[in-house]
Amino acid sequence: MTRLLTALALAAMVATPAFAQTGKPSLMNPASLTEKAPAIYKVKFDMSAGPVEITVTRAWAPLGADRFYNLVKNGFFDGARFFRVVPNFMVQFGINGDPAIQRNWANANIKDDPAGMKSNVRGTITFANRGPNTRTTQVFINYRNNANLDKTFMPFGEVTSGMAAVDKINAEYREEPEQGQIQANGNNYLNKSFPKLDYIKKATIEPATAPAAKK
The pLDDT, as a whole number, for residue 148 is 98
The pLDDT, as a whole number, for residue 212 is 55
> Side-chain half-sphere of 4: how many Cα atoms within 13 Å?
1
Domain extent for 179 = 36-205
**Nearest Cα to Cα of residue 76 among 39, 30, 31:** 30
Residue 19 maps to a domain:
no
CB of 182 closer than 8 Å to CB of 95: yes
CATH number for the domain that contains residue 134: 2.40.100.10
> Distances in Å between the alpha carbon of 198 and those of 43, 92, 205?
18, 11, 21
Residue 184 maps to a domain:
yes
DSSP 193: H
Residue 11 maps to a domain:
no
Residue 215 maps to a domain:
no
Q: Would you call 26 helix, strand, or coil by DSSP?
A: strand
Residue 24 maps to a domain:
no
Amino acid at 62: P
Instruction: Report the domain count for the chain.
Output: 1
Residue 154 maps to a domain:
yes
The pLDDT, as a whole number, for residue 213 is 57
Residue 42 maps to a domain:
yes
Q: What is the pTM of this model?
A: 0.88
Q: What tens digit of pLDDT does each residue of 1-52 get?
A: 444 333 333 333 333 344 444 568 999 999 999 999 999 999 999 999 999 9
The pLDDT, as a whole number, for residue 208 is 79
Residue 47 maps to a domain:
yes
Low-confidence ranges of the chain (pLDDT < 50): 1-21
